[in-house]
Amino acid sequence: MPLPDQTLLQETLATAIEDFGVPGATLLLWNGTGFAEASAGVCNIDTKVPVTPDTLFQIGSITKLYTAALCLQLVEEGKLKLDAPVRETLPDFALGDEDTAARVTLRHLLNHTSGLDGDFFKDAGRGEDRIEKYVGLLKDVRQIHPLDHMFSYCNAGFVVAGRMVEIASGMGWDKAVRTRLAKPLGTPSFSTLPEQAMRYQTAIGHLGVPGSLIVTPIAYLAQSNAPAGSMPMARARDVLAFARMMMNDGKTPDGTPILSPESVAAMHGFTAACPAGMNIDAIGLASFMWDWDGDGTYETFGHDGSTIGQAAWLRYHPASGAAFVLLTNGGNGKGMADKLMAEYFPALGHIAPPPMPQADPTLDYAANPLLGRYGKASGTIDISQKDGKLIAHHAPSAEFAALQGIYDVELSPAAPGLFVGVPPGYTRPVTYHFLEEDRFGRARYLHYGVRAHPRIDE
């Protein structure tokens, strides 16, 4: 599994940054025995400080793998249980739905099947009690689907899991990450707080579409959401260190145990399926899972991460030892990630990501059952018909206005119940799954952006 020539890799990344309007990025490729790494572009389009391999980027929801690993460590120690009610650890835990609050487990939180509206991003402050305060704010948050009914990405659930880590470990989540993961992994630059990241060169996020980007006026999302990924910053090599541990039965290269092989298997074990054709095939415990070779088993793992103007990707293939890490700070990072992953992963792991579903203009569909408004805490999606085409109108809630604007996407059928469309300024198609039927024969859920949006126009 040869690594690409370093000069060529650098040139390829620089070209991709220009093609996809990304201000700056670091790309790291691991072939099981060594790595090639390239950095290009700038940390900030105003200061024009160049990105280097030591630049920290916000890794977003890749953090969820770290929070899950902390939980599994504490399960190994008998201090947490995957299938016990959350209230066994947090007696005062409350949600808008009392039945769910009484029955939801740590496993439901880690595999995104709690049904809790996970995009509740109220800021609970910056103190050491910020995670505890955030969990207390969930008492009025509603369900978007019944407990264990389906997969729907849930940030809030991981903040609850982070609070369980605090109670079970006797230390704050930040300290638990540093002492239980970052230090033994040999990644001291992994930072969960701004004052830690200030020791290093850091990238800032950029908002807007390629060609008209601005430096984000908000450097971080709410610190109280850190266990879900709002704060941590890392180098690509730091993320690789975590992936290598997961591919080595939970041990670092020098044999330091981080997780037991059983815990690694639990994180990599199937717990929930995603709608067919989505950009994730299945979920383990926090881990995204893919069956790239179509043999019915999940052989590729990882996670994506998005914060305010930054995005990150991790993929690793234990059978070959290959790994791919890409960290970016704005622009069409998704398109760039697709291109680079398709270009380099086959040579590293002898396996390739399949293409996204394509529009099928010959496919007939009934529009009326799909029309209407779907929504959750992050905003609404209105499906309408114009000139025979389905249009998805996205409007963010007030809390999400800084993360996304108002925009329309034209949808085309790709399979029964599945449509694809390309958001403005991007090249990668996204999927829209219309799921189930209500009593009127209309779609009950629109699954978009790895989240279930229930119909709200009844």
Give the C-alpha separation, 151 to 148, whole Å: 8
Element (H, E) at 7: helix 6-19
The amino acid at residue 329 is N
Nearest alpha carbon to residue 304 among 116, 153, 180, 110: 153
Element (H, E) at 108: helix 106-110
Nearest alpha carbon to residue 38 among 206, 237, 188, 202: 237
Give the C-alpha separation, 314 to 301, whole Å: 8
Greatest alpha-carbon pair distance for the chain in Å reads 63
Give the C-alpha separation, 159 to 224, whole Å: 8
CA-CA distances (angstroms) from residue 209 to 195, 372, 445, 455?
A: 30, 28, 28, 29
Give the C-alpha separation, 124 to 95, whole Å: 16
Nearest alpha carbon to residue 115 among 89, 163, 151: 151
Q: What share of the chain is helix, strand, coil (3-state, %, to 5)?
A: 30, 25, 45
Kindly state the tokens that stand for 362: 């010959």
Cβ atoms of residues 447 and 396 within 8 Å? no
Give the C-alpha separation, 73 to 260, whole Å: 8
Give the residue carrying structure tokens 């809790």.
Answer: 116
Residues 6+ apart with CB under 8 A from 21: 209, 210, 211, 213, 330, 331, 332, 425
Residues 6+ apart with CB under 8 A from 97: 115, 142, 143
Cβ atoms of residues 271 and 107 within 8 Å? yes
Judge whether 61 counts as a catalytic residue.
yes
Rg (CA), the chain: 21
Q: Name residue 191's beta-bridge partners.
A: 233
Using CA atoms of 168, 169, 174, 177 in order, give the dihedral in degrees to the nearest 10: -110
* Catalytic site positions: 61
